[in-house]
Amino acid sequence: MKNKVIIITGGSSGIGRACALAFGRAGGKIVINGRNAQKLNEVGQELAAANIEYLAVPGDVSQEEDCCLLIEQTVAKFGRIDVMLNNAGISMRALLQDVELDVIRQLMDINFWGTVYCTKFALPYILESKGSIIGVSSIAGYQGLPGRTGYSASKFAMQGFLGALRTETLHQGIHVMVACPGFTASNIRNTALAADGSQQGESPRDEGKMMTSEEVADRILYATRKRLRDIVMTTQGRLAVLLSKFLPGLTDKLVYNQMKKEPNSPFK
């Protein structure tokens, strides 16, 4: 990663912050993007303290013009792009029969359209550098999760988009990868949207038993170096992907029963 230029959306916390530090320590020049300018600056201070060259560009990936500006400012400062790491995302936890449609639109705007916008504008520079385009997805992109209809839809869409792009650019030398961390100790569940669009405010899962954001970042860095096609990071996740292909009916039941065990689950 030495002297490579890496753009990381959702870089103000969680997996994005951890990736910024991991890729930076590996020699990369880091561009972090996020909606919260204060948190973004705090991560910038961490990068500076580690002697990592960086650029912080506040912005909302659901807004096309913000994504265009992110790419323009990166190229203006560093002159190139080697890795476009589409990490920004939000989740939800509500039944479809209860959820407001604007919640699903918001998930699609950030998780799917944010990936489309950033990838579209970064693509000419990635083609030039023979670099990498990465989408941080989820098991929800392979298997629909009950109570997460909008989240699952956005991740299925992201993976379909990146899969088509991989094939489209098959002979152009770029690397397209989907990374699925599984359940990770980050703030995505704390900021997950409830049925009315408000943040649920607390995680329904035991964060202490999950992978850390730092572990996820190290695996994404390794997979980027190896230019892997995809990476599913947990045994439970790999089992779910395998079963969903060969025993889809059984997988539906297993996933339902797993989600039913969550505190305050709607499936009682």
CATH code of the domain in which 75 resides: 3.40.50.720
Q: If you average pLDDT over residues 80-99, what whole number do you get?
A: 96
**pLDDT at residue 19, rounded to an integer:** 98
Name the range with the highest mean pLDDT among 130-144, 180-194, 203-217: 130-144
- Distance between CA atoms of residues 56 and 40, nearest Å: 7
**pLDDT at residue 204, rounded to an integer:** 53
**pLDDT at residue 135, rounded to an integer:** 98
3-class secondary-structure state, position 85: strand
For 29-33, 66-70, 173-177, 252-256, which range has the lowest pLDDT when averaged over its residues? 252-256
Structural domain includes residue 202: yes
Does residue 205 have a pLDDT over 90? no
Structural domain includes residue 32: yes
Q: If you average pLDDT over residues 91-111, what whole number do you get?
A: 95
Dihedral sign, Cα of residue 15, residue 91, residue 61, residue 44: negative
Does residue 9 have a pLDDT over 80? yes
Give the count of domains, the chain: 1
Residue indicated by tokens 């405010």: 201
Q: Which two tokens stand for residue 72?
A: 């323009």
Structural domain includes residue 159: yes
pLDDT band at 201 (very low <50, low <70, confident <90, very high): low
Dihedral sign, Cα of residue 72, residue 116, residue 81, residue 180: positive
DSSP assigned state of 193: B
Residue type, 39: K
Structural domain includes residue 187: yes
Does residue 118 have a pLDDT over 90? yes
Q: Which of 117, 125, 142, 151 is catalytic?
A: 151
Structural domain includes residue 51: yes
**pLDDT at residue 209, rounded to an integer:** 62
The DSSP secondary structure of 197-208, one letter per residue, reads: S-B--S-SS-GG
% of the chain surpassing 90 pLDDT: 81
Who has greater pLDDT, 204 or 124?
124
Structural domain includes residue 258: no
% of the chain surpassing 70 pLDDT: 93
The yes-or-no answer on residue 54 being catalytic is: no
Cβ-based neighbour number of residue 215 at 10 Å: 16
Q: If you average pLDDT over residues 234-253, what whole number do you get?
A: 92
Instruction: Please give the residue range of the domain that contains residue 10.
Output: 5-237
Structural domain includes residue 252: no
Structural domain includes residue 262: no
For 96-105, 111-120, 156-165, 234-243, which range has the lowest pLDDT when averaged over its residues? 234-243
